[in-house]
Amino acid sequence: MLDNDGSPPNDAPLRAGEVLVFVYGSLLSGQTHHALLGRARLVGEAHTLPEYELVDFGEFPALVPGGATRVFGEVYAVDGMTLATLDELEDHPAYYRRTPVTLEDGAEVQVYLMSAWQAAGFPRLAAGDWRRRAERV
C-alpha cells in the first residue's frame, strides 16, 4: 500500500532509476504477462480515481480516460530495463501511451492508457477489475 503522500511505504523507498507503474490487466499477479515484472517490486494494490473505463479486448484490457469507473490494479516499482520491456509490450507510444496519473490514494504513477476512439465498440468492464471480467456493461 502507498503512504498518504503517494510515496512507497517507508520500508520500501524508491531506488535510483525506479518508477511507479500501475498495472490493471495481463500484468497483474497471476495473469499472462506478469512474469515481465520479475525484476519489479510490488508496492501494493490500488485503485484509480473514478475517471476511467476498463475495456475488454478479449486477451487483454485497456484503460481509457473519460469514464466514471474506479479501476483496480497493482503498483510496482520498476527499473529502467523493466520499464522498457513494458513499453515494448504495450507498444508505447503507438498503441498505448504511458501517462502519469494520480491514483485514489494520491500516488503519482505511470499507467498505459488507450484513447477512447481506439476502444470504441468494445465491452466495458463494470467492476473495473480485470479478474472479474465476466461482469461487463
* DSSP secondary structure code for residue 126 in this structure: T
Q: At the topology level of CATH, where does 19-126 sit? A: Hypothetical upf0131 protein ytfp (3.10.490)
CA distances from residue 13 to 40, 121, 135 in whole angstroms, order as listed: 13, 41, 36
What is the rounded distance in angstroms from the CA atom of residue 47 to the CA atom of residue 69?
10
Span 97-106, average pLDDT: 97
- Residue 39's DSSP bridge partners are none
> Rounded to two decimals, what is the model's pTM?
0.89
What is the rounded distance in angstroms from the CA atom of residue 123 to the CA atom of residue 24?
16
- Which residues are part of the catalytic machinery? 90
Residue range 23-50, pLDDT digits in tens: 999 999 999 999 999 999 999 999 999 9
Whole-angstrom Cα Rg for the chain: 14
| Residue ranges per structural domain of the chain | 19-126
% of the chain surpassing 70 pLDDT: 88
Residue range 49-90, pLDDT digits in tens: 999 999 999 999 999 999 999 999 999 999 999 999 999 999
